[in-house]
Amino acid sequence: MMPIGPLMIEHRLIERMIDVLQEEVDVFEKEKKPDLEFLEMAVDFIRTYADRCHHGKEEDILFRELRGKKLKEEHRHTMEELIEEHRWGRKITARLVEANKRYIEGDRDVMSTVTDCMKSLVQFYP
């Protein structure tokens, strides 16, 4: 059996969190009220573990090393797509943080933004 590398283990952990996030999306849509504590923990996980730790390794180690290599154009394109996906994930996460903040401050009209951001993250990460 081939050993699983650290990046793959990280992928599996992120996938497990995304499964939980999907369950929470279902609850939010049913109850029409977000679990603010869960949202804070989910955002912290995404920002700290998925983005800084995992994506950080990819960007600061893997992609940096690959930039110094002669890559086929398709592989270089794939790497650039992944970098852009990381930026997109950060943008959606920041939008979720802002919407959650506005919800806490009493703006109930942002509920759909909270749910849309969560759905986007659920679709994005796997």
Q: Which amino acid is at 96?
A: L
pLDDT in tens, 19-74: 998 998 889 888 877 788 888 888 888 888 777 777 677 777 777 777 788 888 89
> What pLDDT score was predicted for residue 5?
65
- Is pLDDT above 50 for 120? yes
The rounded radius of gyration (Å) of the Cα atoms in the chain is 17
> What pLDDT score was predicted for residue 3?
47
pTM strictly above 0.95: no
> What pLDDT score was predicted for residue 50?
75
Torsion (CA) 60, 66, 93, 18 in degrees, nearest 10: -110
In whole angstroms, give the CA distance from residue 6 to residue 12.
Answer: 10
